[in-house]
Structure 1
Amino acid sequence: MRVSVSWLREYVDIPTDLPTGDLEQALVDLGIEVDSVVDLRATVTGPLVVGEVREIEELTGFKKPIRHCLVDVGAANGTGELQEIVCGARNFAPGDRVVVVLPGGVLPGGFAIGARKTYGRMSAGMICSAQELGLGDDHSGIIVLPADAPGGPGDDARPVVGLDDVVLELEITPDRGYAMSLRGLARELSHALDVPFRDPGLAAAPGATAEPAYPVQVRDTVGCDRFAARMVRGVDPTATTPAWMRQRLTTAGIRSISLPVDITNYVMLELGQPMHAFDADRITGPLVVRRAEAGEKLTTLDGVGRVLAAEDMVICDDTGPISLAAVMGGETSEVVAGTTSVLFEAAHWDPVMVGRTARRHRLFSEAAKRWERGVDPALPLVAVDRAVQLLTVHGGGTAGTEILDVDHVRPRTPVTLSVDLPGRRIGVAYPAQRVVALLERVGCTVTRGVDRLAEDAGEVGVAAGGDEVLVVTPPSWRPDLSDPADLVEEVARLDGYDRVPSVLPTAPPGRGLTWQQRRHRAVSRSLAERGYVEVVAHPFVSAELADQLDLPADDPRRQAVRLANPLSEEEPLLRTTLLGPLLGTVRRNLGRGLRDLALYEIGTVFHPRPGAGAPPAMGVDRRPTDVEFAAADAVVPHQPRHVAVVLTGDVEPAGWWGAGRAAGWADAVEAGREVLAVAGVPADRVEVRAAEYAPWHPGRCAALLVDGVVVGHAGELHPTVLATLELPRRTSAMELDLDALPAPDLAPAPTVSTFPPALIDVALVLDAGVPAAEVRRALAEGAGDLLESVRLFDVYASEQLGVGRRSLAYKLTFRAPDRTLTVEEAVAARDAAVAVAAERFGATLRGV
């Protein structure tokens, strides 16, 4: 939000000698982030003066109209003679006063002004437009000062055009909607600087009349609990927005459109009350405020046709919706060039509804930004009266005596605050009188009493029986004050965050990382060491993801948790598998030119609990009871931690050293084995077997089992899935449930044998359908305790072996801890291993 200090001074007495740095610090101390403080006096350097045009000579023979002007700039040029200036604008005449920058001046952007000969004439200076001075986007003509503007020839023009001001650019946090207005900011500065504040929101305004300004029916008093309106007839359609108002809107970053529309924006900035101006002559029949019917259509002022949802609020006439309430008006009732009857509307809308509507339609108007943060429900009549006054003064017309005010606003609920709670929570001794004074300063009504009903003195915000409490009714403009914790924060903020001591809490004794944390770190470190790059994807997915992954209709991964207020309507669900967001990351990197990718993510997935209802409502004034906590926990989704990898492209690059190697399903399976090994699962408890599980290729998918229980899958993704997601062929992936793995056993101290190993290779011929992992397990069982390791190093198939047969070659390492093995012992162990494989799978020994 951008605002000028001169405008703020209309409501709060900011000292004229206050340095800009102190003003900035005052706002920061109040918790308002200041992005920048711009002194407009420094944006144009050098002589910038008022000039009076005396003579104009039209120059001909050029491609565009050119005028040679003689301008009176008084004594500013050092001679008092008329200044020669060549100008192409045509919106001024002799006798007009203009803004002139003389040679030696520098305009915004570092544009230096000098004297030079151009178009056959001498030009010493420039007659300026608003854009050239950085005051707006209008470059259609130069600035012509109004007749009542102060200053004569040669006087400094900065105060005349508003370049003697200071502009604040602020970042307002979502909980401080009241600060998105001059009224709110002025009130905050009055607290910080301890200076008087004049509240424009408390201005006297006439109330509702028996005869409404226009027939209006509000059918949904939850979405709209107040609706006020008033008519102005006979408006001069040629009336323009006064320069001072246009300048303030431009400073705030709002484009000037027309007088009635500019007035609504001006009042919104001044009071914080968004408004809308209807062309009453373009409305057909009475107005109805209601929820939209799903599928209804409306073309908003930005020219976009929108399909409405049932949650949206609309204002309708006999033709249907004419305004998307609280967000943007419609084309059919907008104020146009010939408008003479203006109906001003100011209402109070449900913030939750507005926020969802704005996100649904991706329409974050200035009005919607304020509504979703909360607007004072006491403002509609004041805002309407202010708008009517401005329009009748500057646009003529007659204000109607009829005033509409449909008011269903409920009074604020008082908050009970233990008088010592701020001190206990903040660590600063706040006397009761100080707490009361600070809360009353922000507009709260505070009464002091004794809480004789409280029984639990340990609950936050509740005093023990007989202790003093404060009953606080927050003001209408502070919807963020709803709990004792909010009031405690307000006390600390107004009293000064600098008074809160910086005390480090005592670290409680602990035992270091849990075994789950050590496991997660070990898995992450292992994958990174193997060349995988970690990513952290958003856990939000679209409703179409299950279909894109070709999950079966009864797959439990289709049952996802839907967010009540998603960041994006396109991704309203929480993920049930890591693969969806991870594959999206792969596709995004492929689109940016990367072809060889090996990514991994460790994160939680979310599975809804069967039959879970809505969570219980709990405040922040006390700790939840065990029953409340259990009820809330019962609806929280199950959130196991998974690890997933995705590979595409070359896992080993090609180069002068030879051909590379493309990533494949075996790499994904090996990544799963590595994760299980690092997680502390012994190899003899791990099993890898063929499986069919979406979204993997049914012939190239492996299930990873621990103690006979499936904990994950790995392999090549299904071609249909890859085509749907626009990913390369042969893309492979692995996903494993880390929380399903057993806790690691107590690791015994390793024994290191100083005796040499006995290395023996065996090649077994057997059916091609026998899994290599099963053969490895059989060899390990038969070899006995002397076997140190067994590793598959070759797979071979040929016609000589027979159809459906293949050879698996394993390297067996034997070692004894207390002696050097003899050849006979090693061969006997090998034969025992081969015997088990032969008995179990019909394997025969082949020479290697």
Structure 2
Amino acid sequence: MQFSESWLRTLVDPDLSTDALAHALTMSGLEVEETDPVAPPFTGVVVAKVLEVARHPDADRLNVCQVDAGTGETLTIVCGAPNVAPGIKVPCATVGAALPPAEAGGAPFQIKIGKLRGVQSFGMLCSARELKLSEDHAGLMILPEDAPVGMNIREYLDLDDTIFVVKLTPNKADCLSLLGVAREVAAITGAPLKDLPGQGAQASTIADTLPVRISSPDGCGRFGGRIIRRVNAAAPSPRWMVERLERAGQRSISALVDITNYVMLELGQPLHVYDLNRLQGGIDVRFGRAGETLKLLNEQTVTLDETTLAITDASGPIGLAGIMGGDSTKAGLETQNIFLEGAFFFPQAIQGRARKYNFTSDASHRFERGVDFAGNVRALERATQLVLDICGGQAGPLEDQIAKLPERQPVKMRVARAVKILGVPVSEQEMSAIFTRLGLAFTLTDGVFEVTPPSYRFDIEIEEDLIEEIARIYGFDRIPANPPVAASEMRPTQESRRSQHAVRHAVAARDYHETVGFSFVDVEWEADFAGNDNPIKLLNPIASHLAVMRSTLIGSLIATARYNLNRKASRVRVFEIGRTYHRDNTVASGELSVGGYRQPLTVAALAYGPVLEEQWGAAARQVDFFDVKGDLEALLAPRAARFVKAEHPALHPGRSAAIEVDGKRVGFIGELHPRWQQKYDLPQAPVLFEIEAEALFGRDVASYEDISKFPPVTRDLALVVDQAQPVQVLLDAMLAARHDDPACSVVQSVRLFDEFRPKAGAASGSLGAQDKSVAFRVTLQDPSGTLQDETVQGAINALVQRVEGFGARLRA
């Protein structure tokens, strides 16, 4: 919200300086972001009248002007502006004047007596740009004919003014007008609120009316308007109105448009002017019908549906209700008869409609938040007065139809509850005074206020809203900042769990960069990367392509990788920690569940490109499955994970695996499926993993074990098995033998270190065409003594017997 201080002070004029007024507004919750002067400082500029203009004898582009600047004598001023002419009134910088510097931070420009091509000049006639009032430098700034000669231009144009820029929270729709801000200032400072001009009813001089019907009372609760005939739409807008509009961020367009914009800014009620001669029959306010189209004032053509409230006549839609009028009935400079309309539309019927058509308007911004449903008549009377004063004409009777208005339910506030929340002892009398200053009707019974919100306050619905009003007007700066009085308690650290913060740092330490994506994603991502053909849909998505909740983080990582690759990044390593969303009533430890939806916290990472940045110390190669598997194992350490062959919709069927921890499947790892690599235009397949965060949060508590004083013994086992036999099965069998077989109690570890397969379709030595050789390194150690050969051989024989059941044999 932007407005000039001088305009505000016509409605309420507290005895406060500009800075104090801005501070008071900010402390009441209306944050004043900026206070900018209307014009930079300058002196010595007055209103002057050009009496004569003659060509300069020695310069074709210069004129010698005789000027009356109210000094008692005629000044000779040399001027090069193309629009200088006898009889006009312009700003004149007299000798000794100080004009704004040409560049920021420069010195003021001093006006002195000077000679231009041999002719002395006693001043300078100014353009708006030279006074830093606008960027217009096409010629002199022409002033109205009634401008008093000799008057200081700052006083005449009210340049000693300040523009306030207020940052409003969405609930403060009542302050989207000068009247609303004035109410706040009056409540904060106690200054009286002045009477608005034009509050009385305008007399009707003609009996013409326009039939109006409200077919959709759930969308339009009130519709008022009147006919005004024989207006001069080409009449110029008065200077005071143009200045106030410009200082509020609105440019002057035409008298009728300026009047509706002015009343909207002044009273908060959007209005619309129709060309009466272009209307076909009466007006009907109804929801749109499928297939109906409408060309708007912004020249955009939109297609309506059953959720869009429309203003219609016999020809069909002529405007989007509460958003923008239609092009077919707009009032132009040639318009002579108008229909002036002001209505109340329910916020629910307007919210999101303008955004659906990819634009917004001042009207929709207000109606979406709530407009005073009792104020349309006052706004129509005010606009009628301005139309008659500026454009002339004859006004008909004001017709105001009320179909359905919001019900204002009383809201109760307990005094004791308010005092407890505020933390300061505000008395009942002071609370009563605050509600009175805010214009809130109330009753007080046994320490409980019952407040009925006025028609312009849509933000008062619950007890906390009233407590906030007390705090705002009482003054946030009067509420002391006391330290907490609750006892502080140190919480014990769980050694068996890591925090999310620790996991995030651990992943980052593996050379991954964290990203944050939306929880709502493209429905195509869900189908591609999760095989989810029934995702959780959003009722009101922020964009059409972000319409469902994600059940996997892979889509966001792929999008991030593509974004970086499109910007010439050759190596991408990213991760994300976030919640995914699933239809499931079963909830595991550490998960959230709301309304039958499971929301586990998930960790996912993606690696693409070279393993290392290019360097002399290591040969360049592309990241592969085992690099990312190593990163994941490091994150899980000291807990061990099993990687089981499995398929996933997003991953390569032969280069992916399921991740199991403590016998539970917790995620997937693998290369991106070639189909998605091609679809998403990736030159190489990235390697990804996605795992439940709970698997990374848990960790084994360290336990002490004696370090053996006796040397370990290592033995290598080369086994021949069928190529289809998973090595993990052999490894699990040998590790299980350590606990099941006394002979294997001295086995400390078993690790795969080699695998060999003969060429396709050919045997190799003791290996058949369908065989493979796998080599394990077995470490043995006895903490109580040196191992003997027979003990070592017995353990090795026991391990071999364990794997023989899976078709394995020692390699010859």
TM-score greater than 0.5 by the shorter chain: yes
**Structure 1 Cα separation of the partners of residues 747 and 197 of structure 2:** 87
3-state secondary structure, aligned to 1:347: strand
Is 2:229 the counterpart of 1:243? no
Secondary structure of the 1:340 match is coil
Q: Is the 8 A contact 1:45 1:107 kept in 2?
A: no
Comparing 415-424 with 526-535, greater Cα deviation is found at 415-424
- Say if 2:544 is the partner of 1:544: no
Name the residue aligned to 2:645: 690
Q: 2:46 aligns with which of 39, 46, 49?
A: 49
Per the alignment, residue 626 of structure 1 pairs with none
Name the CA distance, whole Å, in 1 between partners of 2:663 and 2:419. 58
Which sits farther off after the overlay, 116-125 or 709-718? Answer: 116-125
1:472 aligns with 2:451: yes
- 1:494 is aligned, of 458, 473, 479, to 473
1:174-323 equivalent positions in 2, closer than 5 A: 174-198=170-194, 200=196, 203-205=199-201, 213-323=209-319
1:702 matched to 2:677: no
Aligned counterpart for 1:87 among listed residues 71, 77, 81: 81
Query: How many angstroms apart in 1 are the aligned matches of 2:713 and 2:56?
Result: 105
Partner of 1:666: 626
Q: Does 1:721 pair with 2:676?
A: yes
AA in 1 matched with 2:489: P
SS of the aligned residue for 1:268 comes to helix
1:56-95 Cα shifts (integer Å, max 9, x gaps): 3468999xx945252536388x99732222113x2x5311
For the pair shown, which has the larger CA radius of gyration, 1 or 2?
A: 2
For 1:772-830, what per-residue CA distance to the aligned partner results, in whole angstroms no more than 9, with x for missing partners?
Answer: 43343234234544343444444444433554444444444333334444555445444
Cα separation, 2, equivalents of 1:522 and 1:70:
79
CA 1:170–1:634 in structure 2 vs 1: closer, same or farther (change >3 Å)? closer
Give 1:620's aligned residue. none
CA distance in 1 between counterparts of 2:264 and 2:154 reads 27
Deviation at 1:592, TM superposition (A): 3.2
Asked whether the 8 Å contact 2:607–2:628 carries over to 1, the reply is yes
Q: Which one-letter code corresponds to 2:193 in the other structure?
A: F
Please give the alpha-carbon distance, in whole angstroms, between the structure 1 residues aligned to 2:712 and 2:51.
108
Contact 1:299 1:305 in 2 (8 A): yes
Partners of 2:220 and 2:320 lie apart in 1 by 13
Q: Could you tell me how far 1:500 is from its partner in structure 2?
A: 2.1
Find out whether 1:588 has 2:586 as its counterpart.
Answer: no
Q: 2:574 aligns with which of 578, 599, 602?
A: 599
Matches within 5 A, 1:344-359: 344-359=340-355
What letter is aligned with 1:32? L
Of residues 371, 383, 403, the one that matches 1:387 is 383
Show the 5 A alignment for 1:400-479: 400-449=396-445, 467-479=446-458
Task: Give, in whole Å, the separation in 2 of the partners of 1:662 and 1:499.
Answer: 64
Shift in CA distance, 353/394, structure 1 to aligned 2, threshold 3 Å: same
Q: Is the counterpart of residue 98 in structure 1 residue 90 in structure 2? A: yes
How far has the Cα of 1:30 moved from its partner?
A: 0.4
Which whole-Å CA distance do the structure 2 matches of 1:810 and 1:201 have between them? 96
SS in 2 for 1:544: helix
Structure 2 match to 1:152: 149
5 Å-filtered alignment, 1:66-145, equals 66=61, 68-70=63-65, 72=67, 74=69, 81-88=75-82, 90=83, 93-101=85-93, 104-106=98-100, 109-110=103-104, 113=109, 127-130=125-128, 133-136=131-134, 141-145=139-143
Query: CA 1:137–1:746 in structure 2 vs 1: closer, same or farther (change >3 Å)?
Result: same
Which SS does the other structure have where 2:439 is aligned?
coil
Deviations 1:147-201 (A, max 9, x none): 223x423x42112223210111111111111112111111111222221112649
2:642 paired with 1:650: no
Matches of 2:312 and 2:115 in 1, distance apart? 62
Partner of 1:338: 334
Distance 1:275 1:809 in 2: 85
CA deviation digits over 1:683-709, x for unaligned, max 9? 2xx431222211112222211123544
Query: Per the alignment, in what secondary structure is the counterpart of residue 443 of structure 2?
Result: strand
CA deviations over 1:408-459 (Å, ceiling 9, x no partner): 213311112223221122121122222222112211111123xxxxxxxxxx
Distance in 1 between residues matched to 2:375 and 2:181, nearest whole Å: 16
Tell me if the contact between 2:275 and 2:337 (Cα under 8 Å) persists in the aligned partners. Answer: yes
- SS of residue paired to 2:397: strand
Distance in 1, matches of 2:195 and 2:710, equals: 91
Name the amino acid aligned to 1:578: L
Aligned counterparts of 1:845 and 1:707: Cα–Cα separation in 2: 33
Identify which of 158, 162, 167 aligns with 2:158.
162
d(CA) in 2 for partners of 1:440, 1:636 = 47
Please give the secondary structure, in 2, of the residue aligned with 1:401: coil
Distance 1:209 1:843, change over 3 A: farther
1:371 counterpart = 2:367: yes
1:535 and 2:529 aligned: no
Structure 1: give runs of 5+ residues left out of the alignment. 450-466, 612-631
Question: Residues 713, 400 of structure 1: CA spacing in aligned structure 2 closer, same or farther, 3 A cutoff?
Answer: same
The alignment partner of 1:689 has SS state of: strand
Report the TM-score when normalising by structure 1.
0.85
Please tell me whether the aligned partners of residues 183 and 199 of structure 1 are also in contact (alpha carbons under 8 angstroms).
Answer: no
* Match in the other structure for 2:779: 813
Matching residue of 2:600: 640
1:509: which partner in 2? 489
Query: Structure 1, residues 819-847: CA drift from partner, whole Å, max 9, x if none?
Result: 4445554454445434433432425447x
d(CA) in 2 for partners of 1:298 and 1:352? 21
Change (3 A) 1:257 1:340: same
Return closer, same or farther for 1:608/1:377 CA change in 2, 3 Å cut-off: farther
Counterparts of 2:502 and 2:795, CA distance in 1: 35
Change (3 A) 1:521 1:838: farther
* Structure 2 Cα separation of the partners of residues 822 and 60 of structure 1: 123
- Cα–Cα, structure 1 residues 487 and 842, in superposed 2: closer, same or farther, change >3 Å? same
Distance 1:593 1:58 in 2: 64
- 2-structure distance, mates of 1:207, 1:773: 95
The residue type equivalent to 2:10 in the other structure is E
Identity of aligned residues (%): 34
* Structure 2 counterpart of 1:473, one-letter code: T
CA 1:369 to 1:754, structure 2 compared with 1: closer, same or farther past 3 Å?
farther
Tell me, what secondary structure is at the counterpart of 2:731? helix
Hey, what's the Cα distance between the residues in 1 that align with 2:488 and 2:596? 28
1:85–1:124: 8 Å Cα contact kept in structure 2?
Answer: no
Q: CA deviation at 1:527?
A: 1.3
Q: Aligned partner of 2:449: which letter?
A: L
Helix, strand or coil at the partner of 1:638 = strand
Q: Secondary structure at the match of 2:382?
A: helix
Distance of aligned partners of 1:842 and 1:207 in 2 relative to their CA distance in 1, 3 Å threshold: farther
Give the partner amino acid of 2:474.
Answer: D
How many pairs does the alignment contain?
Answer: 789
Distance, in Å, in 2 between the alignment partners of 1:732 and 1:238 is 69
8 Å CA contact retained: 2:129, 2:136: yes
Range with greater deviation from structure 2 (177-186 or 755-764): 755-764
